[in-house]
Every structure is written in C-alpha cells, then in structure tokens.
C-alpha cells in the first residue's frame, strides 16, 4: 500500500468533511416566518447560473463575476400585500463578498455583520463569504424598521467575520471619496463602475483582482486609480500591450516602455504602468497632479507589499 497516497486521501477526506460541515445548510441561513412576524410564502434555492438567471431576470452576471456558489432566498407576506425578500448569497471567498458589497454606496451604516448598510428600502451586509440583501416590494417607507429587524435576525444566524482582500490596503486614502474604494474581478464590474473604453482592453476575467479608488480634491480635480493583479506576467504583459495600443494608438507593441502618460484632451489625462504581474492605471480630469500624487503613493505601497511577501 502506498502510505503517502493513503495519507493524502485521509487528509483530503478530513478536509472535505470539515468544509462541508462548516457551510450551513441554505434554509438555516434564513429567518422563519415566526421569527420575522410575517408568514413565509416561498423559499428558493439557486445552485447554478441558469437557476440564478431565472430567479433574477436580469443582473445575474454581476454575481457570477464574484464567484457565485449558491443563493438561498425566502419571501414573506406582510400587511397590505407588502412582500419582503431575504437573500443569502454564498460566494467563493470573503474577498468576493467584500467586493460585491463595495459595488454600491453605503448610505446609512448599520452594525450588522461586516459593512452593514441601509438605503431606500434595501438592507445589505456581509459575513465571511456570504452576502445578504433584504428588500421590500411596496411601501418601504412605513416598514423600514421591519427590514432592520429582519436584518438583525438574519445576522444573528450567520455570525461570521470576514477578511477583506489585502490589496485594498494599498490604495491611498488621502483625498479618496466617501465609499470610493471598490474591489472586483471582471470586466462587467469594471464597466458598471467606470467607462474607459467600449472594449475590454485590459482583458479582465474572474481570474483578476482589481482595486479601484475614486479621488477628488478641493480644487475639484477628479481622479480614478486602478491596481490590477493578473494570474501571471504573460497575461499581464499582453493586457498592457493591448491597453496601450487602444488608449494611445500605438501600432508597434514589440518594444513598449513600461509606463505611459498622455493628455487625451484638454481635461483628461491617462497614466498606465506595467509592474510585474500588475498594471497600475490612472485617469484624471482637469489636471493630472492629484492622479500622479496618489499614483506615487500607490506605487510605493505596492513595492512595500511585494517586498514583504
């Protein structure tokens, strides 16, 4: 008997058992009708992309970009035919849950899970790799307290603390807009936040890790910075060549510099740099000083991060 193989199989079995046991069953993540005070009228489980497409009828692609694994949703019926829905999305990692939460602004912060927020009839929070959304179909002005109560009950059922993606710590904080920090992977999320080009010139897929920072200073200069991590240098280099060609109309990409800065029109500047398996990108409106000041910080932070590995 190959004891190395046996040990590997045992280790795999223990890992599989522990992981399966650690993930709560989908219905257990959702409050009952008795807990909410409104009767349950439907429970929905989505395990495939097709399931989620059918359930959401639009908008499902965003969740696929954050490595969707499963959705458990429950609907409740309140007075005057008001419906409340609680959704619990299981994603691949804590970083995915953080990223999905970062796609929308946080209006009213709440002490629920991690990054809890309430905005116009919708409550959201994350807990580990789970992303929760609670909303009403109807007159939410009169039932906001019911949503918040449901959020407290749901958060008490999960009680996990997540670990934000390490790359977000590299994005400079000075002059950054309130809620102007985002983490995502693919082109769908990118174009939902920012328009750079009509095509996916950065060749983003769900294999990328992207941090975006939005900046504005007292002189009304505006800038957006991106730190984009690729799986390897080759994919990063190819994306860099493609982006430089598209943005600066470079026809010969055989001998490019490792950075470019150019004023595209009187009020728009673009900076791009290739750094190993990372691309640093900056876009500025009005003047380029804000962008370059923050870019200098970002480059220093990335260098220290890589040396610390």
**pTM of the complete model beyond 0.85:** yes
In the chain, the domains with their CATH numbers are 19-158 (3.40.1000.70), 166-307 (3.40.1000)
Q: Inform me whether the pLDDT recorded for 108 exceeds 60.
A: yes
Q: Inform me whether the pLDDT recorded for 23 exceeds 60.
A: no
Question: Do the beta carbons of residue 255 and residue 308 sit within 8 Å?
Answer: no
| 43 closest CA partner among 56, 33, 58 | 33
How confident is the model at residue 140, as a pLDDT?
66
**Model pLDDT for residues 277-296, shown as the tens digit of each residue:** 999 999 999 889 999 999 99
Question: Do the beta carbons of residue 183 and residue 193 sit within 8 Å?
Answer: no
How confident is the model at residue 3, as a pLDDT?
36
How confident is the model at residue 5, as a pLDDT?
36
Ramachandran region of residue 282, left (φ > 0), alpha (ψ -120 to 50) or beta? beta
How confident is the model at residue 25, as a pLDDT?
67
**What torsion, rounded to 10 degrees, do the Cα atoms 195, 196, 202, 208 define?**
-40
**Model pLDDT for residues 113-145, shown as the tens digit of each residue:** 888 888 878 899 999 999 999 998 876 677 778
* Out of 53-62, 161-170, 217-226, least confident range: 53-62
**145, exposed or middle or buried, with CB in 10 Å at 0-12, 13-18, 19+?**
exposed
**Residue 101 CA neighbour count, 13 Å, CB half:** 34
**What torsion, rounded to 10 degrees, do the Cα atoms 252, 285, 213, 69 define?**
-70
How confident is the model at residue 12, as a pLDDT?
33
**Model pLDDT for residues 226-252, shown as the tens digit of each residue:** 999 999 999 999 999 999 999 988 777
Q: Inform me whether the pLDDT recorded for 224 exceeds 80.
A: yes
CA distance 45 to 222: 43
Helix extents (H) in the chain = 3-22, 33-36, 49-56, 60-64, 94-101, 144-158, 187-193, 233-248, 289-307
Looking at every residue in the chain, the average pLDDT score rounds to 87
How confident is the model at residue 74, as a pLDDT?
96
Instruction: Give the confidence band of 16 by pLDDT, cuts at 50, 70, 90.
Output: very low
Of 119 and 30, which is predicted with more confidence?
Answer: 30
Structure tokens at 58: 């639009």
Q: Inform me whether the pLDDT recorded for 205 exceeds 90.
A: yes
* Out of 208-217, 242-251, 298-307, least confident range: 242-251
Of 19 and 197, which is predicted with more confidence?
Answer: 197
């Amino acid at each position: 008997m190959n004891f190395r193989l046996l040990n590997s199989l045992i280790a795999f079995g223990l890992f599989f058992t522990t992981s399966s046991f650690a993930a709560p069953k989908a219905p257990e993540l959702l409050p009952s009708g008795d807990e909410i005070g409104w009767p349950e009228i439907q429970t929905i489980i989505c395990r495939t992309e097709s399931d989620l497409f059918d359930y959401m009828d639009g908008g499902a692609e965003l969740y696929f970009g954050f490595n969707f694994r499963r959705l458990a949703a429950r609907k409740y019926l309140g007075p005057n035919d008001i419906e409340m829905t609680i959704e619990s999305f299981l994603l691949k990692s804590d970083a995915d849950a953080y990223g999905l939460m970062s796609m929308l602004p946080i209006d009213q912060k709440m002490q629920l899970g991690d990054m809890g927020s309430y905005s116009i009839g919708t409550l959201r929070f994350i807990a580990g790799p789970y992303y929760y959304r609670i909303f009403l179909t109807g007159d939410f002005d009169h039932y906001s307290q019911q949503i918040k109560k449901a959020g407290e009950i749901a958060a008490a059922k999960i009680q996990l603390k997540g670990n934000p993606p390490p790359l977000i710590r590299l994005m400079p904080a000075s002059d950054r807009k309130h809620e102007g920090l985002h983490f995502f992977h693919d082109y769908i999320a990118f174009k939902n936040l920012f328009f750079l080009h009509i095509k996916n010139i950065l060749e983003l897929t769900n294999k990328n890790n992207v941090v975006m920072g939005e900046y504005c200073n007292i002189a009304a200069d505006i800038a957006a910075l991106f730190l984009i991590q690729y799986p390897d240098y080759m994919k990063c280099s190819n994306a860099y060549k493609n982006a430089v060609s598209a943005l600066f109309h470079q026809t010969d990409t055989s001998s490019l510099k490792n950075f470019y800065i150019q004023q595209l029109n009187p009020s728009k500047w673009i900076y791009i740099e290739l750094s190993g398996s990372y691309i640093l990108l900056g876009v500025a409106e009005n003047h380029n000083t804000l962008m370059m000041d923050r870019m200098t910080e970002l480059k220093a932070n990335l260098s220290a991060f890589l040396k610390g590995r």
